[in-house]
Structure formats: structure tokens, C-alpha cells
Amino acid sequence: MPKLIIDDREIEVATGTKVIEAAAQLGISIPRFCYHPALGSVGACRVCAVKVLEGPAKGIQMSCMLEAVDGMQVSTADREAVEFRRYVIEWLMMNHPHDCPVCDEGGHCLLQDMTVSGGHGLRRFPGKKRTYPDQDLGPLVQHEMNRCIHCYRCARFYQQFCGYRDLGVLGIGNRTYFGRTAGGRLESPFSGNLSDICPTGVFTDKPSRFIGRRWDYQRTPTVCIHCSLGCHAVTSVRYRQVARQEARMSAAVNGWFLCDRGRYGFFYASRADRPRQAAIKGETAGMEEALAHARSRLEALAPAAVAVIGSPRSSTEVLALTERAARLRGWRGPAFFADVGAALKVKAAVSRLEAGLAVSLGEIDQADFILIVGADPINEAPMLALALRQAAQKGAGVWVVDPRPVSLPFEFAHIPTAPKALGAVLGRLLRKSIEPAGLDGPAARFHASLPGDPASGPELPARAAELLAASRRPIIVCGTGIVAAEWVELAADAALLLRAAQKKAGLFYVLAEANAFAAGLLTQLDSTTDRVLKAAAEGDIQALVLVENDPFATFPDRRLLEQALARIELLIVLDYLDTPASRRAHVFLPTQTLYESGGIFINQEGRVQYSAAAFAGGTPVRETGGRDHPPRVYGSGLPGAAPQPAGQLVARLAGEEIPIDIRAQREYFSEQASRLAGLPDTERLPPDGLRLALRNISAERFKSMLPPVPAAESDDIEIILTERTFGTEELSTYSACLETLEDETFAGVSRQDAEALGIRDGDRIAIRTENGAVELAARVCDNMAAGAMMIPRLRRLPWQTLGKSIRRRDIRKA
């Protein structure tokens, strides 16, 4: 532990700490351009110069390259150092264009801050300024190379940190260029971070271009709800428009960065077509009128004839109030999940995440072996892929057991496995890599119940078992999309077994939606969307209340949905999106987005996080004024502020007239979900959230049973509905800037199946279904399990008509 003196103040830091970090611990901010805590040091910009008064190398040194050693004495304010930095800034500014007024970075530009604080004002160099051609880097990132100061942060982030190769350094010397070899869309789903990481305005957010300046934004700490990871973000609002979202540093969750889905997915909140008026049968109505109408219609019906469907994208407040409303009135539901299977998986994940076993996203990079079962990180939860890459960079082996052609931005091993065999592969791997010798009681019995290698069939790669056996801190990442509920349990038991084998094992589930964890806590297995819709189709249910749920986007059986909607007499939809369901509603009630109401979200590891309300709502000034100036009508009240928090509306639908405050909502959570009781007030939640203290679940340990792999497999091809980074997560599909990034519709088939069916890559295939044929482009994948077809849940693809499996003869070339 070296002890050193910086600016006459002593500090003791960990061995290996750089001087710039040691100074930061003292609260001294040394100027920097190339140094970034997540990227480390390269010493390229020379602006972090300090003077070493006492130490191994005296004189001017770069504090980001200089390791703190005992007895060192450093001055940041020494005249020589200050002058050195001033000259550095002056020559960095030599070619910097005179365009701060028209640059979106102005106002939060590191270069601008350093130039002003360094005292540089007038350019003394009489020569000409260097210019660069710019590139079109796609819909998210704006490129303006003239502004570059060659700090290399972008290239290091893009290539080293994220593992994508299409943006990098070109040219030499004074011509050094940061861009792609040819213009075009950036491939990385983390490209938006370039605008945060760039210390000046070379990369700026294209969708937020010219909306406002940092100082004009109402900036609020929020939580991203575009997947279950719950990454931290800062949301900027201006003139009632959600304008920009950037990553908020969180050591426990997302670190410094945010994926593009989370960064640019917010545009649904300020869409021009967002419904802001209540409507009765499509006719605009006042909120109170519509509410009264809906209530009187609901009261005329028997409670058992009313069903409520909620959604795991809602905040915990909304979920809890929906659940309470249904319970008080005796309505059916609320259904939060499409079917029992989905509900069971989430419930299993929720109940098996015990303290000590669960790892956070931030802890993943400490693993030395990661086994991913049935998850596709880059598509389901992109930031997980980034965390996995950091672990892989540190030497962890990453093994993916999945039927899909998973791709990750680093080297990993993939065992393409049919969905039905996922559990068996996991079991075999565990059995092979763990010696039963040191195990006791239940762990030993569980180990004994695991299957060995079958006599026939492909051998498991021995390397995987070796690595797992040798690992000290393995982590099992388990998806909940394509795996069965049993495998979810098995993953937890597998982690426990590794624990029993003296490893510091961790467990990490990937859930389907932002608040699936809370929905899992509150859901009942007897009310799922499919059951409710079946009952509606049979005429047992006359009224449906959809709370922030669009079954057209989420429910996998379109025919059942249509049948149910045709049969019911009252459809009440509460939502903030212009969805097919809200357009068909008999009574539509507009609700507030997360940015207006705020809310608690529980991420996939049970971390309770509060996303604060960013603004009061209302139609953006941009809409009320058109392109022109805002209307010159002055008065109290906001235009378009009719939407109310969905939880309140549901409670009032159920007949509770009192406005429900936050404290009361909290009591409602604890009524139902005792695990949510005792949470501190939202204002007192720690910045990184609070992981739920899960009750003791020792009774459930090692109870998972491995059903035998069905020997007589049917010849049908199983449909695997999968997520894509862009285009399948419901909210982000309402972001116009992400539309062009969505994948083309396609059907993924393994090479084996393709050969059997006579399909080549790129062929159009027609799939015959009960509802007519669906035509798609085939994508033949090498690293894909046979017997399965991968269908992305893209909006343009009628995946809801395909069912669970298709017969081979129903697939033919178009």
C-alpha cells in the first residue's frame, strides 16, 4: 500500500494505482482526455501532466501513466506543470475548428472545459487548420472529424472494450483518422457510447441532434427499462420532450456504458402519435368521463366476467396496484405472463436467486468461467455481452449452450444444443467436471442424479469440463426465453453444486422484460394471458382490462387473441403507446410513462431500483408549436397532461376514489409481496439500488429433477422465438431512429436441416400455417442446433401465427 503526497495531502492507495486515480480519491481532478476509468491509460493526450517533486522519476510526468509509489510527492499546481498543460491544450486546439456554437457537444465538452479552465483563448499559430472528410455512421452517431484531438478513446472503446472492429484508427501522423474504412452504419450495439466517451464533439448523438444544450436539460437519474438488466441512465428532458439519454455510472450494474437500445429507446415517450386523450369507442373524451363510463360498464358485469392483463414492462407500483384492484373486485387476474410456462420460469428464477448466489452485472467480469445456458446476451440483454467480454478479456472461458447461432463480441465456445436437450447438456457437464468425492448429503445425491454421457450422440467438449473443473469463480448465466422451467431450477442447483465443490460460484438469470422479477413475485399461476384469452374466447369473460399491455406485440397466439377480442363486449386499455390494442379499445385511458410518473423496477438479480420522474408530462412544445414558436396562449396547466399513472387509474377503475400516494402504494406491495416489505423509501434507496433480501429457501435446494430427454423425437421443426437487439423489445420499437437498425425478417435454420429441406442461404421460403403461408428469407446457420427454426419476434414478421412447431412438409421454397 504505497503512501504518497499529492498537493501537500497524504493518501494511501492500493498497489498499482495510477497517480491520476490517487488524485481523484483526494478529490483532485487532473485534466484528462485519453484516460478513462473504464479504458485505462495510454498517455496519448499529454494533458494530465503533473510535476513529480519526489519519486523515481522527477519532473513533468503523465499522471495517468505513473504508478503511485511509496514516498512519492506530486504537485498538480506546480507552475511548470500548469504551463505544460496550457501548451498542450493550445496545440490540441491548433486544428480544432471554430464551431462550438453549432456543435452538440458544446456545454458538456471536456475539451471546451479544459480550454477555458486552462486559459487558452486566442489561436497564435498563423497556419491553416487541418480538415477531415466525415462519414455517415448510421442513424445513431454523427461524425465530425475536424474536431478530433487524437486521444484514441473511441478506438480503444470500440475495439478493445466492446470487441467490434469496424471503427478504428486509420492513417498516420497528422492524418490520423478515426472512422470506418468506408462510411456506413456502425455494427456495434454499443456505438452510442462513443458520444459520451469522446472528449469533444467528433461523435454526437444523431437522434438528439440540435435539440438543446446540457445546461437547459432537466436531467434525472433513471433506470433503463428496455431489458431486465436495469442499467442506470440519465434522462434529459427539454420543453416537455424526452430529448436524450446517456449512461449513468454504476459499479454494481452497467459500469460506465449503456447499449444503443437503452440509450435511444426512449423516443416512445415523446412520439407525436402518443395518445394523450382518453377515448370512448375511439371518440375523444375527458379522463373523468371515460373513467366513469368504464366503471359503470364494469360494475354492470359480474366480477368473474372481468379479467385484467398486466405487463412486466410496468413499474412495481402499477403491478401492485393492478393486483390489488383485481383482488378487491374479484376480477380474474392480473395475468402478467403469456402462459404458465413463462410464469413458472420467472417464478423459479425469482425464488431461486438466493443471497450469496446471485451475482450482479458488475461482478461478472470477476468470473473465470462462464457457462451460458439458453441465453443470447447480445440480443436479449446487450450490456450482459459487454460484461461477459470484460470477463473474457481477463481470461475467463465463456461457453454457450444454446440452439441459436449466438454471436458475441469476443472469443467463446458454442455448443449448439436443441432446446429440449439444454438441461441434459448442463447436467452432463456438471457431472463430468465435479468430483463426487468432496460432496455431502443433498449435493452428493443431486450429483448422482445427473446424467452421464449417453452411449451414442455427440461427445461433450472435454475442454469445457476441464475448464469448469479448474475454475475458482464460475458463473452460470441462464436465460428464461427458450429454456424450460426445470432448466431454470437446474441452473440454480448447478450453481449450488459448484458451491458445494468449494467454488465461489454465481448465478445470473436473464429475464424477459424490465420488471419481470416484480411480476414474478406478484403473479399467480392460474391466471396467465392464454388462460384469460381462452376463457374470453369461450364467452366466460365479457370485459378485458389491459394495463400497459399490448397483446398484439407480446402474445404468441394471434388467432386466440382475435377470437377473444371478437367475443368480449368491453375492452379497456390503459397505455402510453399507440398500440393496435389501444386503437381497438372501447375505453382508452392514457397513462404516464416512466419518465413522468417514476417508479420502482426490480432487475433480474432482484435489485430494487427507483427511476425518478423526469418531468411533469404534457405534450412537447415541439408538438404544440409545430415547427414554429410555441403558441402565445398563456395559462395554468399543461397541454396534453391528461395521462395519469396507470396504477392510480386501475385503482380508480376498481372503485377507489382517493388519490393514492407513494406511501400507500408501498403498503399495497407489502400486502401481497411480503418480500417487498421493509424497503426504504424511494428517496433513501442507495444509488446502486438494493438487492432484495430473499428468504431462506434451503428447502428448495437440489430438488430439480432432470426429465429424461425424449428418445422418440418427433420430426417436426421446433419454432424458437428469439429476441433481436433492435426490433423485438416492445418500447424501443417505438423509437424511430432504431427502425433502420432492425434486422430483416428471416428464419434461421441449421445447415443440417437446410440440406435436408434443400434450402440455401438467402432463399425465400414459405411456411404453411393454419392462417395461410408466411414467406421469409432463410438464413442458414452453421452453429445452430438441428431440429429448430429461429424466428425473431420482429413486428414486420407475423410470428404470432406460426405456433410452437411446424411439420417439415409445410416448409418449402417459395
Partner 1 sequence: MRVDLIDKEPSGPIQAVWEGARAIAAGFALTLKHLFRKPITEEYPEFKRPLPSRTRARIVLTRDPDGGERCVACYLCSAVCPVSCISMQSAEREDGRRYAAWFRINFARCIYCGLCEEACPTSSIQLTPMFETCERDILKLVYEKEDLLVNHGGKDPDYNFYKHAGVVTAIGGKGEHAGEDQPVNVRSNMP
Residues that bind partner 1 (CB under 8 A): 97-102, 106-107, 128-134, 144, 146, 170-171, 173-175, 177, 179, 209-213, 215-216, 239, 621-622, 625, 627-630, 632, 634
The C-alpha cell at 35 is 484516460
Q: Which of 159, 100, 98 is closest to 131 using CA atoms?
A: 98
- Give 341 or 625: the residue with its C-beta nearer to partner 1: 625
Least Å distance between CB 615 and partner 1? 17
Least Å distance between CB 203 and partner 1? 15
Backbone dihedral region of 164: left (phi > 0), alpha (psi from -120 to 50 degrees) or beta? Answer: beta
- Give 146 or 523: the residue with its C-beta nearer to partner 1: 146
Least Å distance between CB 685 and partner 1? 33
Handedness of CA 375, 376, 378, 379 (dihedral sign): negative
| Residues paired with 507 in a beta bridge | 358, 476
Least Å distance between CB 158 and partner 1? 17
Q: How far is CA 706 from the centre of its chain?
A: 31
- Give 212 or 803: the residue with its C-beta nearer to partner 1: 212
Least Å distance between CB 123 and partner 1? 9
The C-alpha cell at 323 is 393486483
Least Å distance between CB 201 and partner 1? 10
- Give 152 or 369: the residue with its C-beta nearer to partner 1: 152
- Give 175 or 684: the residue with its C-beta nearer to partner 1: 175
Least Å distance between CB 148 and partner 1? 11
Question: Would you give the end-to-end CA distance of the chain in angstroms?
Answer: 70
Preceding peptide of 551 cis, ω within 30°: no
Least Å distance between CB 137 and partner 1? 15
**Is beta strand 49-54 parallel, antiparallel or unpaired with respect to 788-792?**
unpaired
Distance from C-alpha of 508 to C-alpha of 385, rounded to nearest angstrom: 13
- Give 1 or 633: the residue with its C-beta nearer to partner 1: 633
Least Å distance between CB 145 and partner 1? 9
460: DSSP letter? P
- Give 130 or 812: the residue with its C-beta nearer to partner 1: 130
Least Å distance between CB 365 and partner 1? 35
Distance from C-alpha of 512 to C-alpha of 510, rounded to nearest angstrom: 7
| Contact between residue 190 and residue 138 where contact means Cβ atoms under 8 Å apart | no
Distance from C-alpha of 323 to C-alpha of 658, rounded to nearest angstrom: 17
Distance from C-alpha of 659 to C-alpha of 665, rounded to nearest angstrom: 11
Kind and range of the H or E run holding 520: helix 516-522
The C-alpha cell at 552 is 398484439
Query: What are the DSSP calls for 26-68, one per residue?
Result: TT-----SS-BTTTB----S-TTEEEEEESSS-EEEETTTPBP
- Give 8 or 628: the residue with its C-beta nearer to partner 1: 628
Distance from C-alpha of 493 to C-alpha of 487, rounded to nearest angstrom: 9
- Give 132 or 161: the residue with its C-beta nearer to partner 1: 132
Distance from C-alpha of 131 to C-alpha of 254, rounded to nearest angstrom: 36
Least Å distance between CB 117 and partner 1? 18
- Give 106 or 798: the residue with its C-beta nearer to partner 1: 106
- Give 18 or 206: the residue with its C-beta nearer to partner 1: 206
Kind and range of the H or E run holding 450: none
Least Å distance between CB 172 and partner 1? 8
- Give 133 or 539: the residue with its C-beta nearer to partner 1: 133
Least Å distance between CB 690 and partner 1? 38
| Residues paired with 506 in a beta bridge | 475
- Give 217 or 576: the residue with its C-beta nearer to partner 1: 217
745: DSSP letter? P
Handedness of CA 757, 763, 767, 773 (dihedral sign): negative
Distance from C-alpha of 288 to C-alpha of 728, rounded to nearest angstrom: 34
- Give 119 or 171: the residue with its C-beta nearer to partner 1: 171
Distance from C-alpha of 21 to C-alpha of 13, rounded to nearest angstrom: 9
Least Å distance between CB 161 and partner 1? 23
Distance from C-alpha of 383 to C-alpha of 401, rounded to nearest angstrom: 19
Query: What are the DSSP calls for 794-808, one per residue?
Result: -TTS-GGGS-SEE-G
The residue written with cell numbers 406460426 in the block is 802
Per residue, what are the HEC states of 336-388? CCCCHHHHHHHHHHHHHCCCCCECCHHHHHHCCEEEEECCCHHHHCHHHHHHH
